Structure formats: C-alpha cells, structure tokens
Chain A
Amino acid sequence: MNLSQYMVIGRYIPGNSYIHLLDARSKLIFVFLYIFLVFLTNSILGYLILLSFIIIGILISKIPISYYVKGIMPIFLIILFTIILHLTTNKAGDLVFQWKWIEIYSQGIEQAVFITLRLLILVIIASMLTLTTSPIDLTMGLERILNPLKRVNLPIHELALMMSISLRFIPTLVDEADKIMKAQKARGANFETGPIHKRVINMIAIIIPLFISAFKRADELAIAMESRGYRGGEGRTRLRVSVFTWRDLLLLLIFSVLLITILSIRGL
C-alpha cells in the first residue's frame, strides 16, 4: 500500500468548476464557518442536511469521488476507535443491546453516529478546500484575511506562507515516511511486534531520517525561492489577483440559508 495515495489533504487538482473559481478568501471563511455549523448541529436531521450539502459540493467540484473516499481512509481508524469508545463508555439512555459484559445504550449509539458524521464532514470539507484551491491562492487568501493583524506586528505574510508550504509538504512527507519505514524494515527494524516501549523507541529509526529528508527538501525549496528573487512580503506583487464576484455572493447567500436552517432545527 502506498500511503501517500491516501493523503488527500494538501493536494490540489486543477479545474474550472464553480468551487475552483471562488475567491480563496470566501472558501476559507466558508470552511471555517461550516466547521462551526457542524459543531452547532445537535440532531440527525441537521447532520443529514450538512452532509447532503457536502455531497452537492463534491458533485459541483467535478473532482472524482475516489479522491474524497481516499481522503477518508486515513481517518477510518480514528472513526472506528471513537465509535467503539462511545458505544462502550456512554451509559446514558435506554439499554439497547446486551451480550455478556457488553452493554450498549441508546445515547452511546447516538453519540457514535454524530461523531462519525461529524468527522466525515470535517475531512471532506477540508479535502475539498485544498483539492480545489491552489497553494498560491490559499496562501494569498489566508494572508489577505489576516491582513489586519499586521498592525500588531505579526509577520502575517510569512505565517501564511509557512502554513501553505507545510500543507504542501504533507503528502510528500507521508510518501517519504512510507519509504523510510520500508527501508528500515528491510534492514530488520521491527515496528509491529514486541513490547510497546520497544516499539516506540524503534520509531526513532523513522523520525530521524524523516527529519533529515524534510530539512533537505526545505533547504532546496528555500534555494529555489531565493533564486527566483523571493525577498519576503514587502513590495511583492501578484500575477493574478482574485476579486469578490457574484459567485462569492451566491456562496454567502447559500451559507445564510444553511445557517438559518440549522438554527431553526436546533430550536425545534
């Protein structure tokens, strides 16, 4: 299995769908507010509305669904783990199922379903953001949103750039970690058996090479940036400057409708 295949967040697929053409600022703000909405929701109906909205988004983005499915794979274990945790530890509500010492209560099931939906929505929306927005647009969007903070002397340009470079590095480093793991296994390293403390210490054999290779890549990137004349944010101009258009206005309207719907469901 090639791990990097499953690391969708941080990857960009060019295109010209409605979502691709949105201003990066609108997308960033929308994703942030959407995550907020996800946590505001407390009923199954609310989650279904949010989920169906995401599915429409997937269809509009014209990005193969397989990408999103792959994006869910890495968190599949987290979901499974949380489901088991909630089913076994939450003892509120009615007793639904009992087998020997395993007792499952209705609240536990409810919580497990909620958390699963929540995680699915979060991962899909985060993947959708990076899949449809180029790293350059993402950086610029972030920078322009945070611009007011420049007044308090925060290096916003640099922070935004660091953030998008690290997002871009993630799939590359997952790939690298995978290679290192295989190489170390070929040398006889053991990550799968033995007592837990030994296994943990063995991980150093992955972490140190990962450091060296990541730092090397970072250096190469810095040289590439400098040789192209990167001098920091001051006086930097852009080839393409995105502007707020009817598309962004439409997104705002859609979000308002969504917000009102979720709030009214909550109030019921």
Chain B
Amino acid sequence: MKIKAKNLTFVASIASIYVVLTVLFAPISYGWIQFRVSEALTILPFFTPLAIPGLTIGVLIANIFSQAGIPDMIFGPLATLIAAIMTSKIKNKWLVPIPPILVNAIIIGIMLGVLFSSEISIPLAILWVGVGEFGVLYLLGMPLLLALEKRKDIFEKYND
C-alpha cells in the first residue's frame, strides 16, 4: 500500500487536533461522567475516510493520560475505529453522530463499569458515557458538521 505524504501528514494533524482538544478541556474528558469536547471530531469520517486512522491514533495518544490506563488505550481506539468506519458509510448527515454514541456507550461503558465496579454499575456507566457522547455530538458535533459542510473543499484534495 502506498500512502501519499500529504495524506499521511493530514491523518497526523487530525490525530493531534483530537489530542489537543482532549487535553485543553482535560478535567471533563476522562472518567465515567465524561464530556469529551474532542469527540465532536468523530463526525469527520463523514467527510473523509482519512479521519478513520486519524481519530484512532488521536484517541490512542489522548488515552495515555486516562486514569483507566492500559484498558482505555486498547478499547478506546478500538471503539473509535469501529465507530469511525461505520460513520464513513453513513449518507444521511443527521445520523452521523449515532455510531460514535452507540459504540462508545457500549464498549467504553462496559469497560468503565468493569474497571470501576466498586463505584458504578455497568448499565449506569453505559448510560453516562452515552449521555456525554450524545451531548457533545449533537451540541458541538452537529454544528461542526454543518459548518464544515460549507467548507467541504478543505477535504476534497485528500480524497483522491
């Protein structure tokens, strides 16, 4: 497989934007009641498939700082990867936030529920992660998507 230099650096820049947004708004980005602003970026695969590896790498780096540790560094990127692949297949823009909400709620919710079993039950963890994701994606992700729709040209040159 041959990847062009411009696509390669583009993927890297998406990953670092994810990390920067996560760390800038850090205290609310981790834990079972999380409101991770950077999750708004999970709408990006709607515009370009290059966002799939970009987001996955971003989550991997961002989760180094997670209190849930190694599990979060494995399941976080995994959940993002699955959600991003699903998102890239969606055609209706209003449904774009659905995969990240559902996939993260289930995978991350179960993970946090198991890890912090003394503090929170699994169904509750799923609910909390889901609520956080729902909030970020419809409050911030959707307006971001609508704003980016007007600037589709940014992504076009990477899609060949």
- Give the residues in chain A near B29, CB-CB below 8 Å: 78
- Contact, CB under 8 Å: A75 / B119: no
Q: Which A residue's beta carbon lies closest to that of B3?
A: A158
> Main SS of chain B's interface residues?
helix
Contact with B along A190-233 (1 / 0, CB 8 A): 00000001001101100110111011011101110110001010
Give how many A-B residue pairs fall within 8 Å (CB-CB): 161
Contact with A along B60-90 (1 / 0, CB 8 A): 1100110101100000000000000000000
- Give the residues in chain A near B37, CB-CB below 8 Å: 200, 203
B23 interface contact, C-beta 8 A: yes
Partner of B13, one of A39, A204, A207, A218: A218
A38 interface contact, C-beta 8 A: yes
Please measure, in the bound complex, the distance between the C-alpha atom of A77 and the C-alpha atom of B40, giving whole angstroms: 22
Known: A39-B69, A77-B26, A85-B31. Is A201-B140 also a contact (CB below 8 A)? Answer: yes
Segment at the interface with A among B4-12, B94-102, B104-112, B124-132: B4-12
- Contact, CB under 8 Å: A218 / B10: yes
- Contact, CB under 8 Å: B13 / A200: no
- Give the residues in chain B near A7, CB-CB below 8 Å: 23
A122 interface contact, C-beta 8 A: yes
Partner of A212, one of B1, B2, B58, B154: B154
B92 interface contact, C-beta 8 A: no
A246 interface contact, C-beta 8 A: no
- Contact, CB under 8 Å: B67 / A119: yes
- Give the residues in chain A near B28, CB-CB below 8 Å: 81
- Contact, CB under 8 Å: A225 / B9: yes
Partner of B70, one of A36, A78, A208: A36
- Contact, CB under 8 Å: A174 / B27: no
- Give the residues in chain A near B9, CB-CB below 8 Å: 165, 218-219, 221-222, 225
A251 interface contact, C-beta 8 A: no
- Give the residues in chain A near B40, CB-CB below 8 Å: 207
B45 interface contact, C-beta 8 A: no
> Main SS of chain A's interface residues?
helix
Please measure, in the bound complex, the distance between the C-alpha atom of A77 and the C-alpha atom of B65, giving whole angstroms: 12
- Contact, CB under 8 Å: A35 / B69: yes
A191: shortest Cβ distance to chain B, in Å? 10
- Contact, CB under 8 Å: A169 / B16: yes
- Give the residues in chain B near A35, CB-CB below 8 Å: 69-70
- Contact, CB under 8 Å: A162 / B57: yes
A125: shortest Cβ distance to chain B, in Å? 10
9 residue pairs A–B, Cβ–Cβ below 8 Å: A77-B27, A81-B28, A90-B119, A153-B1, A163-B61, A203-B37, A217-B13, A222-B6, A223-B6
Q: Which residues of B contact A (CB under 8 A)?
A: 1-6, 8-17, 19-21, 23-24, 26-31, 37, 40, 53-54, 57-58, 60-61, 64-65, 67, 69-70, 118-119, 136, 139-140, 143-144, 147-148, 151, 154
20 additional A-B residue pairs with CB within 8 Å, beyond A162-B8, A162-B15, A204-B143: A85-B31, A90-B118, A118-B67, A119-B67, A122-B65, A122-B69, A159-B53, A166-B16, A166-B57, A169-B15, A173-B13, A174-B20, A200-B136, A201-B143, A207-B17, A211-B148, A214-B14, A215-B10, A215-B13, A221-B5
